[in-house]
Structure 1
């Protein structure tokens, strides 16, 4: 499998092409924190023929601007995965229909999978 590197501004157009090609089953969506930047990783499977090779894509976001278009309008199965990445890494998905914490309680301060996160006494993880 080959990883496709996508500029953030081309993510929606690329995702729409994936859907047109039948790749609309999200296997994984996650992030990796490299301190100065975050890598968003998408792995999509072909909906009708899962034996086809998965599509793997990577998008790099600078840590100073963790905003990107939500793909949930085109790939609804990403709804909870985008919410999880928001919750744990702080990525803001523009256009997400229900962007709120998924795993941590409302009011929780910070995003615990970021390298710069410091646990505050009393935080329960």
Structure 2
């Protein structure tokens, strides 16, 4: 898939070895609160709503559920097998999301593993 980088405005495309567009898409889904897109009210996740909840195991489970549900719904290029969420040791106030699974492509399924930091300034 081909698209535009959200920060630089340059063209990006997916490559099996370095899926830039997919990384940007996953981060966008996880950091967009449901109901904030004008033409796509159902797009996004409730992850931004959960970020400020207490840092405990219950919140961690809610974040894993919310992220997996949103990615299954809005990102057809991946098949998720595992979502791990932990508090970032390096950056206080951020959660570290590790998404693992398979990247689906016309040339065959490839292993997929990405880490995303989502927090107050996501």
Q: Same fold (TM over 0.5)?
A: no
Higher relative helix content? 2
Q: TM-score, normalised by structure 2?
A: 0.32
Compare CA radii of gyration and give the structure with the larger one.
1
With a CA cutoff of 8 Å and minimum separation of 6, indicate the structure with the bigger relative contact order. 1
TM-score calculated relative to the size of structure 1: 0.31
